[in-house]
């Protein structure tokens, strides 16, 4: 077998670059109006319902979805541009981003008509926040070991157990969660899991407990279900067959620009603090960082172009996330070295240090969230025919 991993040199069409300027103008206006500050926001404050509503009104949520569900029937490449401009501006997108990227598409694909008609237009309007219920206290990377139990009852299911590391569950309206509806089988350890839509605001018997991260911020939660009743209508897709639905979505989740731009503020601050005439040592380091970012971006655009063409570039998506998260994780450490000789009195030094120090503390999570480095390399190895 010959391994052929393709990345076509796809360019963003003019319509995308025009849209990019529209998004930049919008973001500058919002900054000028005091909605957010890109330096402050790099260090948190990324949840802002009012901002999400404005983005929705612009037509930049659910961009590729059908118009009848509030979508805009635009391309993945147009969505790509919006995502990266929001990301590099540290815009407060948390209120809608998860729903836009993955929850909405799952609902579009798997939910029944009433739910689609109810929820999708609200997501697209920026009025509906989602979180993801995958990890559990006893299993994170190993998704198919999920144990939170759904037991069939009259007209629905009773849920018992805990999900954890659930980002922004305390602010979310809904969760899409993976629950165990049957034991796995000898032949297929992935069997027996089902996706459910959970209405966090209206279902009873759900407790959301904060888990504070090492920076002292409340981002994660533990979500506890105690005989929580979920009506049959909220089952998403095939009972016991969630594993079949998982794979094609992963390329979307893993190849986006948010997978290498999370600490990009450190790069921009570094360029600022080094000034217009850095010494050779600093220039070399800056050049290597830019080369890495440019290459990642070209790979990521390529994957999104392949998705737009209806392909399933699963390995390519995992490669982009592996390379991308390593790059964004190493960025703060490299920037720290490169700026070593910038004197403390430099007028940009304090601002650089603040964002650098934040980036250094964020770095460890980047290769854990959304699929660890080890899991990704396992997927790549499978694609290479090694498993």
Partner 1 sequence: MNGSDNIIINTTAKILNDLCDPQTINNSNDEKWKSTLWSALEENGLTRAWVPEEFNGVGADVADGFEILRIAGQFAIPVPIAETLLAGWLLSETGLNVPDGMLSIAPVNQHDTVMLDENDTLTGTAHQIPFGRDVAQVVVLAEKSGQTFLALVNREDCILQQYDSHASEPRDTIEFNRVSPVQCAETKVTRDHLLRMGAAIRCSEMGGALQHILNIAVQYSKEREAFGRPISKFQAVQHNLAQLAGEAAAAVSAASSAADTINSGDGFNDAGFLEIASAKIRAGEAAGKGAAIGHQVHGAIGYTTEHILHRYTQRLWSWRDDFGGESVWAVALGEFVAANGADQLWPTIAAR
Interface residue list for partner 1 (CB under 8 A)? 2-3, 5, 7-9, 11, 17, 20, 84-85, 88, 264, 267-269, 271-272, 274-278, 280, 282-288, 290-299, 302, 315-316, 319, 322-323, 374, 376-378, 380-381, 383-387
**Cβ closer to partner 1: 8 or 238?**
8
Tell me the sheet residues that pair with 97: none
- 4's CB contacts (< 8 A; 6+ apart) are none
User: Closest distance between partner 1 and the C-beta of residue 262, in Å?
Assistant: 14
Half-sphere exposure of 166 (CA within 13 A, CB side): 30
Tokens 């990704």 belong to 376
User: Closest distance between partner 1 and the C-beta of residue 16, in Å?
Assistant: 10
**Cβ closer to partner 1: 10 or 171?**
10
User: Closest distance between partner 1 and the C-beta of residue 250, in Å?
Assistant: 15
**Cβ closer to partner 1: 107 or 296?**
296
User: Closest distance between partner 1 and the C-beta of residue 331, in Å?
Assistant: 13
**Cβ closer to partner 1: 186 or 387?**
387
Residue 264 has which token pair?
Answer: 């990009």
Q: Which DSSP letter does residue 47 get?
A: B
User: Closest distance between partner 1 and the C-beta of residue 253, in Å?
Assistant: 18
Spell out the alpha helix ranges (H) of the chain.
14-32, 38-42, 49-58, 76-88, 94-98, 104-110, 113-124, 242-255, 264-274, 280-308, 314-338, 349-366, 373-383
**Cβ closer to partner 1: 199 or 353?**
353
Count of C-beta atoms within a 10 Å radius of residue 153: 12
Q: Which DSSP letter does residue 48 get?
A: -
User: Closest distance between partner 1 and the C-beta of residue 269, in Å?
Assistant: 8
Q: How far apart are CA 166 and CA 209, in angstroms?
A: 10
User: Closest distance between partner 1 and the C-beta of residue 85, in Å?
Assistant: 8
Tokens 């165990």 belong to 180
The DSSP result for 301-368, as a single string, is: HHHHHHHHTT---HHHHHHHHHHHHHHHHHHHHHHHHHTTTS-TTSTTHHHHHHHHHHHHHHHHHHTT
**Cβ closer to partner 1: 295 or 308?**
295
**Cβ closer to partner 1: 144 or 203?**
144
């Amino acid at each position: 077998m010959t391994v052929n991993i393709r990345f076509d040199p796809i360019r963003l069409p003019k319509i995308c670059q025009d849209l990019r300027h529209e998004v930049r103008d919008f973001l500058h206006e919002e900054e000028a109006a005091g909605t957010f500050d890109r330096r402050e926001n790099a260090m948190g404050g990324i949840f802002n319902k009012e901002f999400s509503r404005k983005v929705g009104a612009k037509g930049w949520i659910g961009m590729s979805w059908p118009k009848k569900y509030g979508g805009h029937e635009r391309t993945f490449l147009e969505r790509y541009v919006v995502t990266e401009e929001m990301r590099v501006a540290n815009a407060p997108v948390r209120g809608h981003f998860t729903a836009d990227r993955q929850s909405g598409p799952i609902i579009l694909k798997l939910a029944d008509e009433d739910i689609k008609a109810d929820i999708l237009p609200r997501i697209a309007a920026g009025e509906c926040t989602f979180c993801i219920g995958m990890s559990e206290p006893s299993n994170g990377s190993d998704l198919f070991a999920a144990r939170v139990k759904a037991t069939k009852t009259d007209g629905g299911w009773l849920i018992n157990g805990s999900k954890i590391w659930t980002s922004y569950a305390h602010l979310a309206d809904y969760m899409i969660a993976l629950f165990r509806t049957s034991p796995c089988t000898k032949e297929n350890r992935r069997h027996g899991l089902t996706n459910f839509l959970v209405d966090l605001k209206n279902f009873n018997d759900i407790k959301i407990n904060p888990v504070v991260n090492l920076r002292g911020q409340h981002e994660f939660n533990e979500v506890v279900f105690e005989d929580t009743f979920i009506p049959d209508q909220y089952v998403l897709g095939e009972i016991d067959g969630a594993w079949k639905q998982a794979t094609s979505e992963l390329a979307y989740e893993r190849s986006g620009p948010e997978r290498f731009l999370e600490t990009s503020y450190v790069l921009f601050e570094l360029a600022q603090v080094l000034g217009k005439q850095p010494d050779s040592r600093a220039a070399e380091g800056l050049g290597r960082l830019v080369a890495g970012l440019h290459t990642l971006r070209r790979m990521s655009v390529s994957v999104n172009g392949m998705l737009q063409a209806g392909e399933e570039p699963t390995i390519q998506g995992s490669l982009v996330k592996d390379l991308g998260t390593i790059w964004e994780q190493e960025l703060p450490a490299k920037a720290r070295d490169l700026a070593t000789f910038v004197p403390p009195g430099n007028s940009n030094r304090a601002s650089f240090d603040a964002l650098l120090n934040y980036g250094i503390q964020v770095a460890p999570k980047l290769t854990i969230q959304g699929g660890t480095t080890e899991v990704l390399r396992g997927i790549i190895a499978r694609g290479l025919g090694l498993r």
